[in-house]
Amino acid sequence: MKYYKTLILLLFSMSVFSADNEVFVDQAGNNADIDIEQLGESNIIGGLNSVAGTPTALDLDGTSLTLDINQIGNSNKFLGDINGDSITGFFNFDGDSNTFTIQADPTDTYGIDSSDYDVNVTGSSNTFTFDHGTGALSSTIDLDWTIMGDSNTIDYDLDIDGATSYIDVDGDSNSLTYDGDGADNGYFYLDHTGDSSTLNVQQQSTINNDWLQINSNSNNTTLCVIQDDQGTTTSC
């Protein structure tokens, strides 16, 4: 039934906006499994309030949600807002100049516990923004990023206890900004290969027990690391 619903949305968007494929999703309920694959250029995955070419964020509410997104092509966009526990997300982007934005609990009012995200990116000049959780309400996330290509921009904030991040960046002139907050048990691992990149990593908590490791094989790369157990933020 879920596949059928997604197919209807895709065909509807194609009939109204003939240039590109656009899928709009608004899901409320538990144990949902949403799989979307788009092939081509200038495709959009967003919310029901989107208009042609200008997406709003899709809205997912519930527990035990699984989201599997594949966008293959250039200049595609994905925007999503997620509220709920036990979220599993698989994201695969293959192409250039794509935009990926996801917010978990964007209004800072829900608990986001026990999330697992796997993001794979192949291509150049992509922009990725990931904002997850509110420290007082959320705990435990496992985030795995694999990025292959040049001139990509990755900006993500984790305000959550027990955050584990594995980041693998392979390419030149990439920009990575990470801001991790929470009470304790933050784990950040970065493996970077490529030249002339900018890497800014900030990790602050209030109870210590944070762990950070960076392996970089590069030339002319700018690296800034701030780790603060007082819970305060200092900019790179």
For residue 189, give every residue at least 6 positions away whose Cβ sits within 8 Å of its Cβ, in sequence order, or none.
165, 166, 167, 212, 213, 214
pLDDT reading at 5 higher than 60: no
Task: Average the pLDDT over 158-185 and give the result.
Answer: 83
Token match 């959320």: residue? 138
Please tell me whether residue 9 adopts helix, strand or coil conformation.
helix
Position 180, amino acid: G
Is the predicted pLDDT of residue 67 greater than 80, yes or no?
yes
Distance of CA 16 to the CA centre of its chain: 29
The closest of 133, 123, 176 to 153, measured between CA atoms, is 176
pLDDT band at 205 (very low <50, low <70, confident <90, very high): low
Q: Is the pLDDT of residue 204 over 90?
A: no
- pLDDT value of residue 9: 40
Q: How far apart are CA 101 and CA 65, in angstroms?
A: 18
Domain parsing of the chain, residue ranges = 2-228
Average pLDDT, the chain: 81
Phi and psi of 218, rounded to 5°? -160, 170
Of 64-68, 138-142, 212-216, minimum mean pLDDT range: 138-142
Which of the two residues, 50 and 65, has the higher pLDDT score? 65
For residue 158, count CB atoms less than 10 angstroms from its CB and return exposed for 0-12, middle for 13-18, buried for 19 or more: buried
Smallest CA-to-CA distance from 211 within 197, 196, 227 is with 227
When pLDDT is cut at 50, 70 and 90, the band that residue 7 belongs to is very low
pTM for this prediction: 0.82
Instruction: Tell me the per-residue pLDDT of 99-123, one tens digit each, with 9 for 90 and over.
Output: 999 888 777 666 677 789 999 999 9
95 vs 63, residue with greater confidence: 95
Distance of CA 28 to the CA centre of its chain: 20
The average pLDDT across 134-144 equals: 71
Distance CA 230, CA 12 (A): 52
Tell me the mean pLDDT in the region 131-160. Answer: 81
Name the token pair of 132. 């997850």
Look at residue 3 in the predicted model and tell me its pLDDT.
40
| Predicted pLDDT at 103 | 85
